[in-house]
Amino acid sequence: MSGWLRVVGVGPAGPDWLTPETANTLQDATDLVGYGPYVDRVGTAGARRHVSDNREELDRARHALDLAREGGRVAVVSGGDPGVFAMAAAVMEALDADRDGRWSGVEVTVEPGVSAMQAAAARLGAPLGNDFCVLSLSDNLKPWSLVERRIRLAAEGDFAMAFYNPISKARPWQLGAALDVLRSVHAPDTPVMLATAVGRGESERVHVTTLADVSPADADMRTLVLVGASTTRVIERGGRRYVYTPRYYPEERA
Amino acid sequence: MSGWLRVVGVGPAGPDWLTPETANTLQDATDLVGYGPYVDRVGTAGARRHVSDNREELDRARHALDLAREGGRVAVVSGGDPGVFAMAAAVMEALDADRDGRWSGVEVTVEPGVSAMQAAAARLGAPLGNDFCVLSLSDNLKPWSLVERRIRLAAEGDFAMAFYNPISKARPWQLGAALDVLRSVHAPDTPVMLATAVGRGESERVHVTTLADVSPADADMRTLVLVGASTTRVIERGGRRYVYTPRYYPEERA
């Protein structure tokens, strides 16, 4: 008899942002499958752990489906929301390629979670308070020319933006190139926010700067980059800076 | 002595998607401020309730800040995530206009939540599994020409999209006009998904269709509209349709 597979997200950090739905799933699971650091964050006692490298997503999805086919109750564990640059798409890709119905008996569901951009935005105020675009700056699976084109069009549409995967040792120049595209469209004083390790105690850093002053060296693999629209405003208040994008948009600018 | 104000979101539906952080805030609050149906969803015993119409967001934010100034522990309650087309921006607007420091003693924080697009995407599989844009189709606070321009640019960038506030009695034609813009760029078989009242038991309806066939009459105020990119795929599986946008993007299409 086949078991089930649930694709879950444990939120950007800690148990405070883990939904009750997913906490229950993790308790019921016999098998936890995921990138090591995410699985390690989950404190369940009985389940078997199957950890793998972060770049082997499709193999991991197939392995999880096999475990469920053999009767396992399998939680595929992402950080954040599994539907935003995470494991839900990889599981769907595996199912899409399942021409011979190997996994047809497996019940597959996805559970929503809090994504990193939302935790970062909350810390800042409401930078994503109006229309916004969400992009991964990784060019591992898509051509860089597409990333640049999307950023340019999003800037021309005056969307606020959230960038996932801004920088890594293997991708050192992409964030700088993305900022150059933004500078070709937006004013130098456009707010740019670097939110690193949000929710992770003392390692959390939230930096509010501008398109003119931002330095890619201030970002790392744990950083979520937010970019304002032309309407985005910065408020100084009690030694802290809040950033928000108003709900209204002036008629004369449109 | 001033109290605090926390802008929270109770998720798209029910307690399963309410974060522990926000559940704690709602327990600690002396005052709950928000649109009636959202406040009603919260089952706290002791707090005073201050409900108002959904269109009076700035007045509601000012009222909440006044309650906190008088010492209240005030939760401003949104549906979904308070940072996505919800109350966080309205509270920031009120603070931005606070030139005389009326509310300078009030500690203001925002807590992230699960937004409607995420619950809708989870039900479908992974339609937002690659780069995507998020727009409100309401033209109450921004010119319709801007909405159309943003949709056109997002389509030219081949982003998947999520539309909030697609239709209401006061805004009956906007969704149809948005779909017409999409049709001028995208192929007729581009997947379009209408996800209505997700998480709300028997009233939940999730409809997978195409740009050619979608009818605005199938959407209502509780509907979240998702639009695929050119790479988005539909899988038929066990009488159910899953939709996902792959993580990869073919070089030759970019």
pLDDT of residue A54: 67
**Residue range B76-117, pLDDT digits in tens:** 999 999 999 999 999 999 999 999 999 999 999 999 999 999
How much is the average pLDDT of B124-148? 97
b/e burial code for range B55-70 (CB count within 10 A of at least 16 → b): eebbebbbbbbbbbbe
For B204, how many CA atoms within 13 A lie in the half-sphere containing its CB?
14
Q: How sure is the predictor about A247, in pLDDT bands with cuts at 50, 70 and 90?
A: very high
Instruction: Give yes or no for B229 touching A (CB within 8 A).
Output: no
Instruction: Give ipTM to 2 decimals.
Output: 0.97
| Minimal-distance CA residue of chain B relative to A132 | B134
In this structure, chain B runs to a length of 254
pLDDT of residue B55: 67
With CB atoms and an 8 Å threshold, state whether A142 touches B248: yes
Q: How sure is the predictor about A239, in pLDDT bands with cuts at 50, 70 and 90?
A: confident
**Kind plus residue range of the DSSP H or E element containing A64:** helix A57-69
Q: Where are the domains of chain A?
A: 4-114, 117-253
Q: How sure is the predictor about B46, in pLDDT bands with cuts at 50, 70 and 90?
A: confident
* A215 Cα to chain B: minimum distance (Å): 24
Question: Which CATH code is given to the segment(s) B4-114?
Answer: 3.40.1010.10
How much is the average pLDDT of A169-175? 96
Q: Is A42 a residue whose pLDDT tops 90?
A: no
Q: How sure is the predictor about B3, in pLDDT bands with cuts at 50, 70 and 90?
A: very high
pLDDT of residue A253: 74
Q: Is A234 a residue whose pLDDT tops 70?
A: yes
In angstroms, rounded to a whole number, what is the distance separating the alpha carbons of residues B219 and A68?
36
Instruction: Give yes or no for B132 touching A (CB within 8 A).
Output: yes
pLDDT of residue A31: 96
* A250 Cα to chain B: minimum distance (Å): 7
Q: Is A238 a residue whose pLDDT tops 90?
A: no
Which residue, B245, B135, B116, is CA-closest to A85?
B245
Is the pLDDT higher at A252 or at A12?
A: A12
Order the strands of the A48-52 sheet from edge to edge: A48-52, A31-35, A73-78, A4-9, A107-110
With CB atoms and an 8 Å threshold, state whether B122 touches A88: yes
**Percentage of residues in chain A having pLDDT higher than 70:** 98
Q: Is the CB of residue B86 less than 8 Å from the CB of residue B79?
A: yes
pLDDT of residue B254: 67
Q: Is the CB of residue A127 less than 8 Å from the CB of residue A244?
A: yes
* A149 Cα to chain B: minimum distance (Å): 7
Chain A positions in Cβ-Cβ contact with residue B20 (cut-off 8 Å): 15-18, 20
Instruction: Give yes or no for A128 touching B (CB within 8 A).
Output: yes
Instruction: Give yes or no for A69 touching B (CB within 8 A).
Output: no
Q: Is B54 a residue whose pLDDT tops 70?
A: no
Superfamily covering domain B117-253: Tetrapyrrole methylase, C-terminal domain (3.30.950.10)
- The per-residue pLDDT of chain B, averaged, comes to 95
How much is the average pLDDT of A54-68? 91
Is the pLDDT higher at B217 or at B37?
A: B217
In angstroms, rounded to a whole number, what is the distance separating the alpha carbons of residues A100 and A93?
14
Q: Crossing angle, helix A174-183 and helix A144-156, to 10 degrees?
A: 30
| Minimal-distance CA residue of chain A relative to B113 | A114
* DSSP letter string, B191-202: EEEEEESTTSGG
Q: Is B19 a residue whose pLDDT tops 70?
A: yes
**Percentage of residues in chain A having pLDDT higher than 90:** 88
How much is the average pLDDT of B126-138? 98
Q: Is the CB of residue B129 less than 8 Å from the CB of residue B26?
A: no
Residue with tokens 């997913």: A22
In angstroms, rounded to a whole number, what is the distance separating the alpha carbons of residues A14 and A221?
18
Between positions 80 and 99 of B, the ones with CB within 8 A of A are 81-85, 88-93, 95-96
How much is the average pLDDT of B144-164? 98
Chain B positions in Cβ-Cβ contact with residue A143 (cut-off 8 Å): 249, 251, 254
Q: Is B177 a residue whose pLDDT tops 70?
A: yes
**Residue range B201-230, pLDDT digits in tens:** 999 999 999 999 999 999 999 999 999 999
How much is the average pLDDT of B49-60? 85
Instruction: Give yes or no for B134 touching A (CB within 8 A).
Output: yes
Chain A positions in Cβ-Cβ contact with residue B8 (cut-off 8 Å): none
With CB atoms and an 8 Å threshold, state whether A93 touches B246: yes
Chain A positions in Cβ-Cβ contact with residue B143 (cut-off 8 Å): 249, 251, 254
- Collapsing DSSP to helix, strand or coil, B237 comes out as strand
Q: Is the CB of residue A180 less than 8 Å from the CB of residue A215?
A: no
Instruction: Give yes or no for B53 touching A (CB within 8 A).
Output: no
Is the pLDDT higher at A21 or at B1?
A: A21
Tokens of A176: 């700088």
Q: Crossing angle, helix A57-69 and helix A87-96, to 10 degrees?
A: 70
How much is the average pLDDT of B174-203? 97
pLDDT of residue B187: 98
* Residue type, position B156, single letter: E
Q: Is the CB of residue A175 less than 8 Å from the CB of residue A166?
A: yes
